C-alpha cells in the first residue's frame, strides 16, 4: 500500500507479503469508539477449530472455554446431558463426560506457563525490542494526551522513529538501527537478506503478532485514514521496518518457529469443541423449538400485530436496535399498552458521517462493515437556546483551560493544588459516599443547559458545493430509498399515529470502555443521532409521497419521531420537539407507559440489588439502583452490555413476543410474506447477521481468554493516549472487553461463551439461493463461525439446520426426538 | 393487549450478587477509626488534651491531624473499593492490605520510641509493596512489588542508620528525647544522621532520582494507588517534620533539601509533559508535588509542607479514582478558543490580581511578610494567581465581567481557604519542637527562584520543545522498570 516505490520486484513482493501477514492480527479500534469485532477476523477463512489453534500458536490465546466452565454449565443443566452424550458418541468418544473433562483439565495444567519461571525469566532480547517499540508506538499513536508529543510526527512513523532513534540510548548502536536507510522498504529488504523469500510472510506474521494490540490499532488507523492518520501517517511497512531494525540491533533471530507437523487441531481442543457444540445445541434447540411452535400456532395471521390486528392500528410503533438489550425493554413496553415494537439495525440504515453541534470531530455512525456515504451535521434552529448553551460551553471551556494551564506549568502547579485541594476533598467524599445524589446533580445540570437535540436539527437536506469528500445531506431519492428500505426489511404494512425510532446509548462514569456499551451498529457511538436522521427523513412530505409511490401507504396522521434508549437506566428520552399538538395526547400516554416500562425493565436488569431496600421488586428501587450505577465512579459493572448474547432471531415479533429471552437474543423484524424475491432477507444476512456475529465473537473470545483477547480487570487499567488501555505500567495495548463486562465475579462467568445461533423465519429454498450468491456469508457458516437454523413456514414450520455446502438437515420434531430437552431448567415453564 | 405476566424463559442467565463479609466489616471499622480520630481532634482543640505512654507513644497535634486525614482517605478508599473491587479474586486480601496499612500509618504517626517508629516505617513499606503486587498471579505485578520492596527496604535501612546514629549520640530512645537534645548534635554525627534521614525521605516520597518505584507501581489496583499517592508518599515529609530539630540544626541539610526538592519539582513536571498514559502522568505529577513539599521543609515551613501533603492528597486521590474518566475523542488540531492579547488595561488587571493574590496569602499566612525564605512561597502564589488571571483575560469569548472578575472571585477565596487550612495545621502543630524555621535567604534560594521563573517562561513559550534530545531523555527517564512492563498480554493473569 504505502510502501515507497522502488524499481525492484522485491518491493512489490514485500508489500504483498506484509498485507497478507497483517491479517493475522485483528483490527483494534480506539477505545473512545470501541468496536466489538472478532479478534480472529483474519482467520475467518479457515474452519473455526483450525483458526483458533493457528491463532493460539501466533497470539498465544485460548480458543475454547476451560473445563471448569463446561463443568459448571453441565451442573446447571445449560448443557443438556443427553445431548452431550449424543454429541460425544457421534464424535467417537467412548469415555464419559467426566473423564473427558478431567483430561481437559490436566492438559490445561501443563499448558500454563509455570508462574515462578515467568517472573524470574531473564529479560530476553525479543522483549527489549517489544519494549522499545511500545515506547515509541505509544508516543506516536497518542491522540492528544501528552502535553509534549513526539517530535517530527508529521513526517510519519518511520521518519520520526529514525530521527529519535539516534538519541535513544536504550537502542544499541549497532546493526541496522545504527544506520537506518531513508526508505522503510530498503530497511525491510536489508533485514530480510539472510532469509529466503518463501519465509518472508511467516517472518512478518510472527513480527506483527508480537504486539497484537498496537499492531491492530495502527493497522486499523492506516486502513481508516482518519484525521489523525492524515496528520501523522503510519504504515505497516514503516512499523515493520522500525521493528526489524530493532531486532537487528538487539541481535534477535527473525526465523519464526517452523509450523508444527502435528495434527492441525490437538486432541484436547477436539474434546472442548464437542462440549461447546452440545452447549450451543442445548440453547439453540430450546429457542428453535419455541419459535417453530409459535410459527405454527400463529399460522395464517398476517402482519406483525401480536393480537392479529383485530383492534386496528396500534397506539404507537417503536423501532429498536437489534441489540440484545432491546429485547428486555421491548417486552416491558409491549406489556404497558397496545404497542408494536420492531427490531432494526441501530444506525437505522443511513450510513453517514455525523457531526454534532460544536464538535471538533465527526463520527462514522454506521457499522464498520460499511463506509459512510453522507455527511450530516447538526444545524442550530433556535437562537435563544443556542446562545444559552454556548455561554455555558464557553465558560466551562475557559475554566478547563485555566485549570489545565495552571496544572501544566511547574511554577504554578503547586500553588494551584494547594488552592484547589479542599474542593477535591469534597468531591472525593461526594462521589464515593453519595453516588446517587451525584446522578441527581448531573441530571439537574443537564436539564439546565439546552441539549443539542433541543435547538438543532440534523441537516439531512442535500447541500451542493459543501466542502469535504462526502456529499453533505441526502437527495430526495436517497431519502426515500433509506425510508423504504427500513419498512421493507422490517416487513411493515401498517403505520400507527406515532412511529418512534429509538436509538440507544449507555451512561456510565469513570469507564474507558463506555463506548463498548454504546450502539454497535453505530460503530460504538450513541444511536440517537441516527434515529433523528431517519425520523427527519420520514417526516419530509416529499418522502411520504415517495413512500406511497413505492407502495407504503403512510397515513397523513402518522408522525415519526426519534428517541434514545439509555441502556444503563432504561430511560427512553423522546425527542418530541416537532410533534404537532394533534398528537399531544398520544405522546403523553406513550411517555407515561415508557416510564412504567422503564421501572419494570430496570428492576429486571438490576436484579436483587434493586429490591434490597424497597418494598418489593419493580418500582422506583430498580430505577434508583440503575441511576446509581450510571453515575457511580466506583462501579465496574454499570450494566451488562451485550453479555449473554447467544441468539439472533430474524422474523416477525409475534414469534418471540411471548418469550422471555433474558436479553440474550438479537432480534431483527422480518416478514417473509412481504419479501417475495428475498432482497430484504439478503440484506439482513449480509449486514446485520455479519455484525452480530462479530459482536458475538468478541464476547466469546474475550471470555475464553481475557488476557490475550480481552482487556483484563478494570481495577488495574491504565488508559493511554486516548486510544486504549494498558494493564499496569505499560507494554502492549489490551484489546477486547474488560473482565467485569463478562464475569459476575472471579469464579462466575456471566457471559456464556457460545457461538451465535441464528434462527430465520423464511422458506428454506430462498435462503439457499441467497447463500449461493453470497460466498462470504456461506463461508462463515461452512467454517462454523456461527450456526443457522431456518424455520420454514411453507413446510409445516419444520426447522432446518444448515450443515455445509448449502445442505440442510431437517430437525426432528423436537418433542418426539428428545423428550428430555423440554424439561431442562433452562427452558422450564414457570 | 398483550400482557402475560410470566413468559416462557429461554436460556435464562444466572443472577448473582455477592458481597464479601470481610470488606464490609473493614469498611465499617475504617469509618469508625475516622469518627474516633475526629473525636480526638475535637478533644485536642477544645481541651488541649494530649496523651502519651511515656517512652513509647505520644499523641500530639501532628498525630491527631494525620489520624484524621489518613482515616478519611482510608474510609474513602474502603468505601470506593466495596464496589470497585467487588467480585475480584483478591477482594479480601486487598481489604486486609489497605486496612493494615491504615493501622501501620496510624501507629507510625503516634510512635515516639525509635524502635516502634522504625518498625512501623518498615511495615508500611512492606504492606504497600504487597498492595502493588495484589494481583499475584501476574508476573509483572510481582516484579513491580519487588522493585518497590527493594526501595522501601533501602529507605528502612537508611532510617535505621539515622536512628542508630542519633541514639548513640544522644542516648535518647525516643523521638522527643532526640528533639530535646538535638542542639548538642554536630559534626559527622549530624551529617550522617541528617543525610540518612534526607535520603530515606527522598526514597519514600519518590523524589528524583528515586522515582522509579512509583512510576513502576501501576500494577496496584486503582484504590491502592490512590492510598499510595495520598498517604504513603507523604511519609517523607512526616519523617522530616518529626525530626525537624535534627534537620534544621544544619543549614547545609536545609539547602540540600531545597535543591533536591526543587530538582524533583521541576523534573517531575517535565517528566509528566511527555507521558501519554493517565496513571503515568499522575505518577510524574506526584514526583513534582512531593518535590515541592520537600522544598517547603527545606525553607523551614514544616506546617506548610504538612498542609501541602493533605491538600495534594485530596487532589491526587481524586484524580486516581477518576482515572477512567480521562479518555476523550480529540482532533489532531484542536480548535483552541480564541485567545486575544491582554492589552494595557488587561495587563494592569492581571498584575493587580496577581499581587492581590500574593498579598492575601502573605497577610493571612504570615509567609512572605519578612525578608526570609517565605518570600519564595508568596512568590509562587503571586505567579499562580497572575497566570490564572492572564489565562482568563485572554478568553475573548467570555463576557468582560467574567474575563476580569472570575479569577479574583475564585482565586482570592481559594487562597483564603488555603490560608485557613494552613493556620489550622499550624495551630495543631504548635506544640511540636520545630514548626516554622524560616531560613535566611541565600544565593541558592535566589537561584531556585530563578530556575522556577525560567521553567515558567520555557513552558509558556514552548521553547524547550525544540530539543529532540531532551524529549528522548525525558521519555526514557520516565519509563517503568523493564520487568514490570507487560509486552505479551497473554502473560497477564488477573488471579
Interface probe, candidates B4, B10, B365, B457, chain A, greatest A C-beta count within 10 A = B10
> What single DSSP character describes residue B366?
-
Q: Beta-carbon neighbour count of residue A733 at 10 Å?
A: 28
Which candidate from B14, B334, B398 shows the least CB-CB separation from A744?
B14
Sort out which chain A residues have CB atoms less than 8 A from B376's CB and list them: none
Sort out which chain A residues have CB atoms less than 8 A from B270's CB and list them: 410
pLDDT in tens, B413-432: 999 999 999 999 999 998 88
Q: Give the phi and the psi of residue B99 in degrees, each rounded to 5.
A: -70, -45
User: For residue B466, what is the nearest residue in chain A, using CA coordinates?
Assistant: A151
Sort out which chain B residues have CB atoms less than 8 A from A635's CB and list them: 83-84
CB contact under 8 A, A412 and B388: yes
Both B279 and B401 in a single domain?
Answer: no
**Predicted pLDDT of residue A262:** 64
Which candidate from A134, A636, A729 shows the least CB-CB separation from B216?
A729
**A363 has which bridge partners?**
A354
Sort out which chain A residues have CB atoms less than 8 A from B327's CB and list them: 31-32, 512, 719, 722
Nearest CA-CA partner of A362 in A522, A144, A521: A522
Reduced to 3 states, what is the DSSP secondary structure of residue A231?
helix
User: For residue A282, what is the nearest residue in chain B, using CA coordinates?
Assistant: B11
Does residue B370 register a pLDDT over 90? no
Tell me the binding residues of A.
321, 323, 504, 519
Which runs of consecutive H residues, i.e. helices, occur in B366-467? 374-393, 400-429, 443-461
- Count of alpha carbons within 13 angstroms of residue A826, beta-carbon side: 27
Task: Give domain status of residue B171, yes or no.
Answer: yes
Distance, CA of A352 to CA of A533 (rounded, Å)? 10
**Predicted pLDDT of residue A817:** 42
Tell me the binding residues of A for Zn(2+).
321, 323, 504, 519
**Predicted pLDDT of residue A812:** 67
Q: How many residues does chain B have?
A: 495
**Residue A801 near residue A789, CB atoms below 8 Å:** yes
Distance, CA of A535 to CA of A479 (rounded, Å)? 11
**Residue A305 near residue A327, CB atoms below 8 Å:** no
State mean pLDDT over B395-407. 83
CB contact under 8 A, B315 and A421: yes
Interface probe, candidates A39, A642, A718, A749, chain B, greatest B C-beta count within 10 A = A718
Buried b (16+ CB within 10 A) or exposed e, B363-388: ebbbbbeeebbbbbbbbbbbbbbbbb
The distance of A311 to chain B (nearest Cα, Å) reads 9
Distance, CA of A369 to CA of A386 (rounded, Å)? 35
Sort out which chain B residues have CB atoms less than 8 A from A283's CB and list them: 10-11
Which candidate from B3, B418, B473 shows the least CB-CB separation from A418?
B418
**Predicted pLDDT of residue A609:** 64
Sort out which chain A residues have CB atoms less than 8 A from B415's CB and list them: 419
Sort out which chain A residues have CB atoms less than 8 A from B88's CB and list them: 713, 715, 745-746
Residues above pLDDT 90, as percent of chain B = 69
Which candidate from A415, A662, A730 shows the least CB-CB separation from B9?
A662
Distance, CA of A721 to CA of A715 (rounded, Å)? 18
**Residue A175 near residue A251, CB atoms below 8 Å:** yes
- Count of alpha carbons within 13 angstroms of residue B19, beta-carbon side: 13
**Residue A656 near residue A649, CB atoms below 8 Å:** yes
Which candidate from A424, A732, A745 shows the least CB-CB separation from B16?
A745
User: For residue A80, what is the nearest residue in chain B, using CA coordinates?
Assistant: B11
Distance, CA of B342 to CA of B349 (rounded, Å)? 9
User: For residue A607, what is the nearest residue in chain B, using CA coordinates?
Assistant: B15
- Count of alpha carbons within 13 angstroms of residue B107, beta-carbon side: 19
**Predicted pLDDT of residue A820:** 39
Task: Give domain status of residue B354, yes or no.
Answer: yes
Expressed as residue numbers, the domain containing B396 is: 343-430
**Predicted pLDDT of residue B15:** 60
Sort out which chain B residues have CB atoms less than 8 A from A247's CB and list them: none
Sort out which chain A residues have CB atoms less than 8 A from B215's CB and list them: 729
CB contact under 8 A, A287 and B85: no
CB contact under 8 A, A334 and B487: no
Both B220 and B170 in a single domain?
Answer: yes
**Which residue ranges in chain A fall short of pLDDT 50?**
1-7, 113-122, 303-310, 612-618, 814-830
Which runs of consecutive H residues, i.e. helices, occur in A351-475? 383-408, 413-433, 435-448, 452-455
Torsion, CA A803, CA A804, CA A807, CA A813, rounded to 10: 0
CB contact under 8 A, A413 and B288: yes
Distance, CA of B393 to CA of A61 (rounded, Å)? 56
Distance, CA of B269 to CA of B258 (rounded, Å)? 16
Q: What is the pTM of this model?
A: 0.94
State how far Cα A756 lies from the chain centre. Answer: 14
- Count of alpha carbons within 13 angstroms of residue A291, beta-carbon side: 32
Nearest CA-CA partner of A749 in A697, A705, A696: A705
CB contact under 8 A, B11 and A646: yes
ipTM of the complex: 0.94
- C-alpha cell of residue A466: 459543501
Both B278 and B159 in a single domain?
Answer: yes
Interface probe, candidates B319, B458, B489, B491, chain A, greatest A C-beta count within 10 A = B489
Nearest CA-CA partner of A342 in A18, A61, A650: A650
Nearest CA-CA partner of A438 in B26, B409, B322: B322
Task: Give domain status of residue B437, yes or no.
Answer: no
Comparison of pLDDT for B182 and B9, the residue scoring more:
B182
CB contact under 8 A, B311 and A417: yes
CB contact under 8 A, B81 and A395: no
Both B315 and B369 in a single domain?
Answer: no
Which candidate from B3, B266, B307 shows the least CB-CB separation from A335?
B3
CB contact under 8 A, B10 and A660: yes
Number of Cβ pairs < 8 A linking chain A and chain B:
466
Both B309 and B349 in a single domain?
Answer: no
The distance of A548 to chain B (nearest Cα, Å) reads 29
Sort out which chain A residues have CB atoms less than 8 A from B17's CB and list them: 607-609
Q: Which helix (H) or strand (E) is A117 found in, with range?
A: helix A115-120
Interface probe, candidates A165, A610, A716, chain B, greatest B C-beta count within 10 A = A716
The distance of A703 to chain B (nearest Cα, Å) reads 13
The distance of A624 to chain B (nearest Cα, Å) reads 16
Dihedral angle sign, alpha carbons of residues B453, B455, B456, B462: positive
Comparison of pLDDT for A213 and B337, the residue scoring more:
A213
User: For residue A141, what is the nearest residue in chain B, using CA coordinates?
Assistant: B276
Q: Which helix (H) or strand (E) is A478 found in, with range?
A: helix A476-490
Both B44 and B174 in a single domain?
Answer: yes
Both B279 and B408 in a single domain?
Answer: no
Both B303 and B171 in a single domain?
Answer: yes
Q: Beta-carbon neighbour count of residue A609 at 10 Å?
A: 16
Strands A724-727 and A717-720: antiparallel
Task: Give domain status of residue B193, yes or no.
Answer: yes
Sort out which chain B residues have CB atoms less than 8 A from A661's CB and list them: 9-11
Distance, CA of B151 to CA of B135 (rounded, Å)? 20
Both B94 and B208 in a single domain?
Answer: yes
User: For residue A171, what is the nearest residue in chain B, using CA coordinates?
Assistant: B476
**Residue B102 near residue B66, CB atoms below 8 Å:** no
CA angle B392, B394, B399 (to 5 degrees): 70
CB contact under 8 A, B76 and A826: no
**Residue A569 near residue A386, CB atoms below 8 Å:** no
**Predicted pLDDT of residue A309:** 45
User: Given B430, B446, B469, which residue is the final one in a domain?
Assistant: B430
The distance of A545 to chain B (nearest Cα, Å) reads 32
CB contact under 8 A, A147 and B273: yes
- C-alpha cell of residue A187: 530497511
Going from N- to C-terminal start, the domains of chain A cover 275-313+643-701+751-827, 318-323+325-382+450-631, 386-448
- How buried is residue B252: exposed, middle or buried, by Cβ count under 10 Å (0-12/13-18/19+)? exposed
Sort out which chain A residues have CB atoms less than 8 A from B4's CB and list them: 658
Buried b (16+ CB within 10 A) or exposed e, B162-195: bbebbbebbebbbbbbbbeebeebeeebbebbbb
Interface probe, candidates A400, A417, A513, chain B, greatest B C-beta count within 10 A = A417
**Residue B410's pLDDT band (boundaries 50, 70, 90)?**
confident
**Predicted pLDDT of residue B462:** 86
**A180 has which bridge partners?**
none
Task: Give domain status of residue B168, yes or no.
Answer: yes
**Residue B281 near residue A408, CB atoms below 8 Å:** no
Both B270 and B209 in a single domain?
Answer: yes
Q: How many domains does chain B have?
A: 2
Sort out which chain B residues have CB atoms less than 8 A from A399's CB and list them: 406
Reduced to 3 states, what is the DSSP secondary structure of residue A803?
coil
**Predicted pLDDT of residue A304:** 44
Distance, CA of A48 to CA of A34 (rounded, Å)? 24
Distance, CA of B199 to CA of B201 (rounded, Å)? 5
Amino acid at each position: 500500500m504505502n510502501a515507497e516505490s522502488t524499481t525492484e520486484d522485491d518491493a512489490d513482493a514485500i508489500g504483498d507479503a506484509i498485507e497478507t501477514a497483517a491479517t493475522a492480527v485483528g483490527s483494534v479500534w480506539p477505545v473512545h469508539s470501541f468496536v466489538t469485532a472478532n479478534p480472529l477476523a483474519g482467520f475467518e477463512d479457515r474452519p473455526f477449530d483450525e483458526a483458533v489453534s493457528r491463532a493460539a500458536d501466533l497470539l498465544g490465546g485460548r480458543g475454547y472455554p476451560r473445563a471448569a466452565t463446561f463443568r459448571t454449565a453441565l451442573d446447571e443443566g445449560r448443557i443438556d446431558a443427553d445431548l452431550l452424550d449424543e454429541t460425544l458418541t457421534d464424535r467417537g468418544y467412548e469415555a464419559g463426560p467426566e473423564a473427558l473433562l478431567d483430561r481437559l483439565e490436566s492438559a490445561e495444567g501443563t499448558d500454563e506457563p509455570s508462574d515462578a519461571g515467568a517472573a524470574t525469566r531473564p529479560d530476553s532480547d525479543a522483549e527489549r525490542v517489544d519494549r522499545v517499540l511500545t515506547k515509541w508506538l505509544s508516543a506516536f499513536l497518542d491522540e492528544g494526551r501528552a502535553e509534549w508529543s513526539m517530535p517530527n510526527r508529521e513526517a510519519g512513523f518511520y521518519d520520526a522513529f529514525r530521527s529519535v532513534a539516534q538519541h535513544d540510548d536504550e537502542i544499541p548502536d549497532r546493526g541496522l538501527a545504527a544506520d537506518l536507510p531513508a526508505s522503510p522498504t530498503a530497511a525491510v529488504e536489508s533485514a530480510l537478506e539472510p532469509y529466503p523469500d518463501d519465509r518472508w510472510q511467516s517472518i512478518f506474521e510472527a513480527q506483527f503478532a508480537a504486539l497484537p494490540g498496537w499492531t491492530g490499532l495502527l493497522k486499523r488507523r492506516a486502513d481508516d485514514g482518519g484525521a489523525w492518520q492524515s496528520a501523522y501517517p503510519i504504515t505497516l511497512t514503516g512499523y515493520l521496518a522500525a521493528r526489524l531494525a530493532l531486532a537487528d540491533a538487539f541481535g534477535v533471530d527473525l526465523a519464526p518457529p517452523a509450523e508444527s507437523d502435528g495434527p492441525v487441531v490437538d486432541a484436547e481442543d477436539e474434546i472442548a469443541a464437542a462440549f461447546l457444540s452440545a452447549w450451543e445445541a442445548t440453547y439453540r434447540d430450546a429457542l428453535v423449538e419455541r419459535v417453530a411452535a409459535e410459527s405454527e400456532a400463529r399460522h395464517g395471521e398476517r402482519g406483525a400485530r401480536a393480537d392479529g390486528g383485530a383492534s386496528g392500528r396500534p397506539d404507537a410503533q417503536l423501532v429498536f436496535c437489534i441489540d440484545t438489550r432491546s429485547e428486555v425493554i421491548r417486552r416491558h413496553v409491549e406489556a404497558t399498552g397496545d404497542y408494536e415494537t420492531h427490531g432494526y439495525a441501530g444506525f437505522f440504515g443511513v450510513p453517514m458521517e455525523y457531526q454534532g453541534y460544536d464538535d471538533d470531530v465527526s463520527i462514522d455512525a454506521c457499522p464498520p462493515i460499511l463506509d459512510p456515504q453522507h455527511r450530516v451535521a447538526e444545524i442550530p434552529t433556535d437562537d435563544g437556546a443556542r446562545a444559552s448553551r454556548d455561554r455555558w460551553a464557553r465558560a466551562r471551556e475557559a475554566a478547563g483551560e485555566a485549570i489545565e494551564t495552571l496544572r501544566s506549568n511547574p511554577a504554578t502547579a503547586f500553588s494551584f493544588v494547594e488552592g484547589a485541594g479542599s474542593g477535591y476533598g469534597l468531591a472525593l467524599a461526594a462521589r464515593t459516599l453519595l453516588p446517587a445524589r451525584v446522578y441527581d446533580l448531573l441530571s439537574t445540570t443537564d436539564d439546565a443547559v439546552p441539549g443539542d437535540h433541543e435547538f438543532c436539527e440534523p441537516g439531512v437536506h442535500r447541500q451542493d458545493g459543501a466542502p469535504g469528500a462526502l456529499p453533505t445531506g441526502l437527495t430526495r431519492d436517497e431519502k426515500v430509498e433509506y425510508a423504504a428500505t427500513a419498512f421493507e426489511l422490517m416487513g411493515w404494512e401498517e403505520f400507527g399515529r406515532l412511529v418512534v425510532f429509538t436509538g440507544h446509548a449507555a451512561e456510565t462514569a469513570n469507564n474507558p470502555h463506555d463506548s463498548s456499551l454504546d450502539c454497535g451498529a453505530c460503530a460504538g457511538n450513541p444511536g440517537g443521532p441516527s434515529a433523528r436522521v431517519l425520523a427527519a427523513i420520514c417526516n419530509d412530505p416529499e418522502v411520504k409521497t415517495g413512500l406511497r409511490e413505492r407502495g407504503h401507504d403512510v397515513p397523513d396522521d402518522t408522525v415519526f419521531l426519534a428517541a434514545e434508549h439509555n441502556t444503563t437506566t432504561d430511560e427512553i428520552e423522546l425527542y418530541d420537539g416537532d410533534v404537532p399538538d394533534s398528537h399531544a395526547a398520544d405522546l403523553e400516554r406513550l411517555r407515561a407507559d415508557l416510564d412504567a416500562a422503564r421501572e419494570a425493565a430496570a428492576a429486571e436488569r438490576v436484579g436483587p440489588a434493586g429490591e434490597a431496600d424497597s418494598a418489593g421488586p419493580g418500582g422506583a428501587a430498580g430505577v434508583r439502583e440503575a441511576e446509581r450505577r450510571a453515575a457511580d465512579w466506583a462501579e465496574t459493572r454499570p450494566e451488562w452490555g451485550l453479555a449473554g448474547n447467544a441468539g439472533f432471531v430474524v422474523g416477525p415479533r409475534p414469534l418471540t413476543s411471548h418469550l422471555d429471552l433474558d436479553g440474550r437474543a438479537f432480534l431483527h423484524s422480518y416478514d417473509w410474506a412481504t419479501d417475495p424475491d428475498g432482497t430484504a432477507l439478503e440484506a439482513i444476512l449480509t449486514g446485520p447477521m455479519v455484525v452480530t456475529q462479530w459482536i458475538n465473537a468478541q464476547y466469546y473470545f474475550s471470555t475464553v481468554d481475557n488476557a490475550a483477547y480481552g482487556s483484563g480487570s478494570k481495577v488495574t487499567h491504565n488508559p493511554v493516549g486516548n486510544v486504549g488501555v494498558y494493564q499496569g505500567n505499560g507494554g502492549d495495548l489490551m484489546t477486547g472487553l474488560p473482565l467485569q463486562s463478562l464475569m459476575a465475579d472471579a469464579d462466575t462467568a456471566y457471559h456464556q461463551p457460545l457461538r451465535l445461533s441464528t434462527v430465520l423465519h423464511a422458506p428454506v429454498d430462498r435462503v439457499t439461493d441467497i447463500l449461493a450468491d453470497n460466498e462470504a456469508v456461506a463461508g462463515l457458516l461452512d467454517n462454523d463461525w456461527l450456526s443457522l437454523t431456518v424455520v420454514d413456514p411453507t413446510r409445516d414450520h419444520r426447522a432446518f439446520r444448515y450443515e455445509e455446502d448449502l445442505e440442510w438437515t431437517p430437525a426432528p420434531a423436537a418433542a418426539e426426538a428428545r423428550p428430555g430437552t423440554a424439561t431442562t431448567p433452562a427452558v422450564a415453564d414457570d | 393487549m398483550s400482557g402475560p405476566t410470566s413468559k416462557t424463559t429461554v436460556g435464562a442467565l444466572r443472577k448473582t450478587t455477592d458481597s464479601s463479609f470481610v470488606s464490609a466489616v473493614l469498611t465499617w471499622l475504617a469509618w469508625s477509626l475516622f469518627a474516633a480520630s475526629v473525636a480526638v481532634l475535637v478533644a485536642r482543640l477544645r481541651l488541649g488534651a494530649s496523651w502519651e505512654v511515656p517512652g513509647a507513644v505520644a499523641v500530639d497535634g501532628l498525630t491527631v491531624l494525620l489520624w484524621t486525614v489518613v482515616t478519611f482517605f482510608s474510609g474513602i478508599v474502603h468505601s470506593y473499593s466495596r464496589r470497585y473491587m467487588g467480585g475480584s479474586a483478591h477482594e479480601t486480601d486487598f481489604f486486609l492490605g489497605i486496612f493494615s496499612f491504615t493501622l501501620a500509618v496510624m501507629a507510625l504517626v503516634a510512635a515516639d520510641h525509635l524502635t516502634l517508629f522504625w518498625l512501623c516505617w518498615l511495615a508500611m513499606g512492606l504492606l504497600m509493596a504487597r498492595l502493588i503486587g495484589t494481583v499475584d498471579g501476574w508476573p509483572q505485578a510481582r516484579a513491580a512489588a519487588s522493585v518497590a520492596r527493594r526501595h522501601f527496604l533501602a529507605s528502612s535501612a537508611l532510617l535505621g542508620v539515622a536512628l542508630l546514629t542519633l541514639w548513640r549520640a544522644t542516648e535518647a530512645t525516643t523521638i522527643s528525647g532526640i528533639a530535646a537534645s538535638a542542639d548538642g548534635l554536630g559534626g559527622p554525627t549530624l551529617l550522617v544522621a541528617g543525610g540518612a534521614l534526607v535520603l530515606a525521605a527522598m526514597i519514600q516520597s519518590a523524589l528524583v532520582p528515586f522515582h522509579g518505584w512509583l512510576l513502576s507501581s501501576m500494577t496496584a489496583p486503582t484504590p491502592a494507588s490512590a492510598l499510595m499517592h495520598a498517604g504513603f508518599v507523604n511519609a517523607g515529609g512526616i519523617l522530616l517534620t518529626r525530626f525537624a530539630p535534627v534537620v534544621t540544626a544544619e543549614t547545609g541539610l536545609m539547602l540540600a533539601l531545597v535543591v533536591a526538592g526543587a530538582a524533583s519539582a521541576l523534573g517531575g513536571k517535565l517528566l509528566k509533559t511527555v507521558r501519554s498514559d493517565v496513571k503515568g502522568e499522575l505518577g510524574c505529577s506526584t514526583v513534582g508535588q512531593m518535590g515541592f513539599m520537600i522544598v517547603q521543609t527545606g525553607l523551614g515551613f514544616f506546617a506548610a509542607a504538612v498542609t501541602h501533603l493533605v491538600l495534594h492528597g485530596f487532589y491526587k486521590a481524586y484524580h486516581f479514582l477518576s482515572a477512567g474518566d480521562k479518555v476523550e475523542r480529540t482532533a489532531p488540531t484542536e480548535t483552541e478558543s480564541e485567545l486575544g492579547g491582554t492589552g494595557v488595561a488587561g495587563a494592569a488587571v492581571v498584575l493587580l490580581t496577581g499581587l492581590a493574590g500574593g498579598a492575601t496569602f502573605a497577610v493571612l499566612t504570615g509567609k512572605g511578610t519578612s525578608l526570609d525564605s517565605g518570600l519564595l512561597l508568596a512568590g509562587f502564589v503571586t505567579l499562580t494567581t497572575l497566570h490564572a488571571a492572564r489565562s482568563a483575560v485572554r478568553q475573548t469569548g467570555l463576557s468582560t465581567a467574567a474575563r476580569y472578575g472570575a479569577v479574583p472571585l475564585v482565586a482570592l477565596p481559594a487562597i483564603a481557604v488555603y490560608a485557613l487550612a494552613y493556620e489550622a495545621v499550624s495551630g495543631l502543630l504548635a506544640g511540636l519542637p520545630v514548626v516554622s524555621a524560616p531560613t535566611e535567604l541565600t544565593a541558592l534560594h535566589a537561584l531556585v527562584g530563578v530556575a522556577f521563573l525560567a521553567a515558567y517562561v520555557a513552558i509558556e513559550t514552548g521553547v524547550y520543545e525544540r530539543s529532540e534530545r531532551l524529549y528522548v531523555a525525558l521519555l526514557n527517564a520516565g519509563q517503568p522498570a523493564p520487568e514490570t512492563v507487560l509486552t505479551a498480554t497473554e502473560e497477564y493473569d488477573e488471579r
